[in-house]
Structure 1
Amino acid sequence: MKFHNTIAMLDALIAAPSISCVNPKIDQSNREVINLLANWCQDLGFSCEILPIPNMPDKFNLIATLGHGEGGLVLSGHTDTVPYDLEQWDVDPFKLTEKDGLFYGLGTSDMKAFFALVLEAVKKFDPKQFKHPLILLATAEEESGMDGAKALLNTWKTGARHAVIGEPTNLRPIRMHKGIFMESIHLQGLAGHSSDPSLGNNALEGMHLVIAELIKWRQQLQSKYHNPLFQVPVPTLNLGHIHGGDNPNRICGGCELHIDLRPLPNMDIQELRGMLHQKVTQAVADTGLGVEFTALFDGIPAVETAQDAEIVKVTQKLTHHEAEAVAFATEAPYLQQLGIEPVVLGPGDIAQAHQPNEFINGQRLQPMTEVLVNLIRHFCL
Structure 2
Amino acid sequence: MSNNCPDLVSMLRQLIASPSVSCTQPDWDQSNLGVIELLEGWLADLGFQTEVVPVPGHPGKANLIATLGSGPGGLVLAGHTDTVPFNAELWQSDPFKLTERDNRFYGLGTCDMKGFFPIAIEAAKQFLDKTLQQPLIILATADEESSMSGARALAEAGRPKARYAVIGEPTGMKPIYMHKGMMMESVRVEGKAGHSSDPSLGANALEAMHSVLSELIAFRGEMQKQYHNSDFVIAEPTLNLGCIHGGDNPNRICGSCELEYDLRPLPGMDLDNLREEVSRRMAPLADRFAVDIQTKALFPGIPAFANQRDSNLVRTAEKLTGYTAQSVAFGTEAPFMQALGMDTIVMGPGFIDQAHQPDEYLAFDQIKPTVAVLEKLIEQYCL
Q: Distance in 2 between matches of 1:23 and 1:245?
A: 23
Give the equivalent residue in structure 2 for 1:184: 186
SS at match of 1:136: strand
Give a deviation string over 1:349-370, Cα, whole Å, max 9, x none: 1111111111100000000000
Identify the match of residue 104 of structure 2 among 102, 105, 115.
Answer: 102
Change (3 A) 1:31 1:228: same
For residues 197 and 20 of structure 2, what CA distance do their matches in structure 1 show?
55
Structure 1 residues 150 and 127: CA distance shift in structure 2, 3 A = farther
How far 1:247 sits from its partner (Å)? 2.0
CA contact (8 A) 1:209 1:284 kept: no
Name the aligned partner's letter for residue 43 of structure 1.
Answer: D
Q: What residue is the counterpart of 2:38 in the other structure?
A: 36
Supply the distance in 2 between the matched residues of 1:198 and 1:68 (Cα, whole angstroms): 72
**1:233-244 superposed matches below 5 A:** 233-244=235-246
Q: Secondary structure of the residue that 2:287 maps to in structure 1?
A: coil
Whichever residue aligns with residue 305 of structure 1, its letter is N
Equivalent position to 1:123, from 122, 125, 128: 125
Q: Structure 1 stretch 280-289 or stretch 323-332: which is displaced more?
A: 280-289
The residue type paired with residue 173 of structure 1 is: P
2:202 maps to which of 196, 200, 203: 200
Residue 358 (structure 1) aligned to one of 357, 360, 368: 360
Q: Give deviations 1:266-321, integer Å, cap 9, x for gaps.
A: 10000001001111223343222111222212211111011111111111111111
Between stretches 30-39 and 123-132, larger displacement belongs to 123-132
Question: 310-319 or 203-212: which moved more?
Answer: 203-212
1:55 alignment partner in structure 2: 57
Which of the numbers 285, 293, 296 marks the counterpart of 2:295?
293
Q: Which residue of 1 aligns with 2:159?
A: 157
CA distance in 2, matches of 1:341, 1:104: 32
Q: Matched residue of 1:285: which SS?
A: helix
1:67–1:128 contact (8 Å) kept in structure 2: no
SS in 1 for 2:113: helix
Q: Residue 283 of structure 2 aligns with which residue?
A: 281
Which ranges of structure 2 fall in alignment gaps of 5 or more residues?
Answer: none
Match of 2:376 among 350, 374, 377: 374
Q: 1:337 aligns with which of 336, 339, 346?
A: 339
Structure 1 distance, partners of 2:22, 2:211, is: 37
Which residue in 1 is equivalent to 2:86? 84
Shift of 1:126: 4.0
Deviations 1:183-209 (A, max 9, x none): 211112222222222222222111111
Q: Tell whether 2:292 aligns with 1:270.
A: no
- Equivalent position amino acid for 1:353 in 2: A
Q: How does 1:168-183 map to 2 (within 5 A)?
A: 168-183=170-185
Q: Percent identity?
A: 54
Query: Which residue number corresponds to residue 325 of structure 2?
Result: 323
Q: Does 1:23 align with 2:25?
A: yes
Question: Which deviates more, 166-175 or 147-156?
Answer: 147-156
- 1:226 equivalent to 2:228? Answer yes
1:141 alignment counterpart: 143
Report if aligned partners of 2:204, 2:253 keep a CA contact under 8 Å in 1: yes
**Structure 1 unaligned blocks of 5 or more:** none
> For the residues of structure 1 that align with 2:71 and 2:306, how far apart are their CA atoms?
27
Distance, in Å, in 2 between the alignment partners of 1:107 and 1:364 is 15
Q: What is the total number of aligned residue pairs between the two structures?
A: 381
Provide the alpha-carbon RMSD of the alignment.
1.4
TM-score with structure 2 length normalisation? 0.96
Letter in 1 for 2:193: A
**1:305 maps to which of 307, 320, 330:** 307
Runs of 4+ in 1 over 4 A off after TM superposition: none
